[in-house]
Amino acid sequence: MRRWLTFAWIAALRFLSEGRMQTGFILGGIAIGVGVIVFMSAMLTSVQTNFTNRVLTSQPQIQLKPPDEVARPLRRDDGVVEAAIVQRPTQRILSLDQWQTVLSSMRARSDIVVATPSVSGSALAVRGDASRSIGILGMEPDDYFRIVRLPDYIIAGEPSLGTDDILVGIDLANDLGATVGDKLNITTGPGGSRILTIRGIFDLGNRGANERNTYVQLRTAQSLLNLIGGVTEIDLTVADVYAAETVAQDIGAVLPVKAESWIVTNAQFFTAIWAQTLSSLLIRSFVGLSVAFGIAAVLIVSVLQRSKDIGILRAMGSSRGKILRIFLIQGGVLGFLGSLFGSFMGGIALFAWYRLARQANGAELFPLVVEPSLFLFSALLATITGVLAGMVPALRAARLDPVEAIRG
């Protein structure tokens, strides 16, 4: 007997180690359940962290644009509407009004980390016989690359831009048969055309973006789109990415601009994340519930098997409370030990998955985010689950009539 253990602990541990088969099987069951929960949680966190990072580092968190142009119904002086049917006007490419003022007021805000102007429009990229319609985005690389981590996604060449340079996506480069150093003829409606040199090729992990997105210096885009001195948007990153929508609404209320946060522009992404989180939560809860039922079932049987022992212990002067504790401890210990094995199994499964599941080129699918708190948290949760599951058997044991138990 361990000197530092109390009566209830000694009895609980001995009862567990005596019923070796039962204890072994239920520990296996708990371990599998906890393993599944650990594996799923780590996967979910990894996937979501990875996706969120990608979304956050491949687009501004808030974009400020000129307000939509709207046509008003024509009214006479006496207020009678003359032409009530209003067609939505075409949205021209317009410069943001007073953008220098807007930019400096953005840079003055403490909840905004980076603010930088950009110009975007569409164009035609021509190389030899091939031509593709593209979007061009002109920006100031030093600031813009702090918002969109383009350098991280460069797979050939480098992310440095002169006034006659352009960065293109991998799919556009393939479509045009071009590579780093090749020249493209970029043509726009309003601004004519220019010959630009490909300085870098990027892969944003998204076919649409890899086909259409191109990046040039702010001046280059201004001249191509005939917007000398103007910008079409101001891009921002904020201190708290999840507060982006609040900040956007705040800006929209103060300034004559249209402020769009990433939370609104990626509504589908958030729905997907939410659905994923919810379904995984459901699965994990049900796994947890079945673990709890397993523990309860094993302990109920144990109470029946040990009812004479319980009677003897009661005759010796153990209170109902002490008997209750013996079985709650057993539940807790089962949960805790099971979660240790389960964490180990989940860890091994994660490691194996990380080694085996690879992209075609051998690179990792996405970085695994495995936090120690996950293991701590599942151990804690499993222990609590065990104690709760032990509640029914423990109450049953505590309520046992010693006379019946000893006679039976």
Partner 1 sequence: MADLLVLDGIRKSYNVGTPVETEVLHGIDLVMKAGEFVALMGPSGCGKSTLLNIVGLLDRPTSGHLFIDGKDTTSLAEAALTRLRGHSIGFVFQYHHLISAFTARENVIMPMLVDHGRPDAPMERRADELLDQVGLGKWRDTRATNMSGGQQQRVAIARALAMNPLLVLADEPTGNLDTASAQGVFELMRRFNLQRGTTFLVVTHNHDLAAQCDRIIDLVDGRLTGDRRIRGIDRVSRPG
Using CB under 8 A, list all residues that contact partner 1: 1-7, 10, 14-15, 18, 308-309, 312-320, 322, 402-403, 406-407
- C-beta closer to partner 1: residue 289 or 315: 315
Report the 10 Å Cβ neighbour count for 134: 22
> Given the complex with partner 1, which of 326 and 394 has the nearer CB atom?
326
The rounded Cα 74 to chain-centroid distance in angstroms is: 48
CB of 330 to partner 1, least distance (A): 12
For the chain, report the end-to-end CA distance as a whole number of angstroms: 29
Least distance (Å) from partner 1 to the CB of residue 337? 18
CB 320 → partner 1: shortest distance, Å? Answer: 8
| Shortest reach from residue 400's CB to partner 1, in Å | 12
DSSP string, 166-217: EEEEHHHHHHHT--TT-EEEEEETTTEEEEEEEEEEE--S-HHHHHHEEEEE
Q: What's the closest the beta carbon of residue 356 comes to partner 1, in angstroms?
A: 44
Report the run of H or E that residue 124 belongs to, with start and end: strand 112-127
Minimum Å gap between C-beta 403 and partner 1 is 5
**What per-residue string of b and e applies to 237-257 under the rule 16 or more CB within 10 Å gives b?**
bbeeeeebbebbeebbeebeb
Give Cα 208 distance to the centre of its chain: 21
Q: Which residue's CB is nearer to partner 1, number 342 or number 393?
A: 393
SS3 label, residue 359: coil
Q: Which residues contact 386 (CB under 8 A, 6 or more apart)?
A: 30, 292, 295, 331, 332, 333, 334, 335, 336, 338
Nearer to partner 1, 128 or 317 (CB): 317
Nearer to partner 1, 18 or 69 (CB): 18
Q: Which is nearer to partner 1, 7 or 274 (by Cβ)?
A: 7
Encoded tokens for 398 = 């505590």
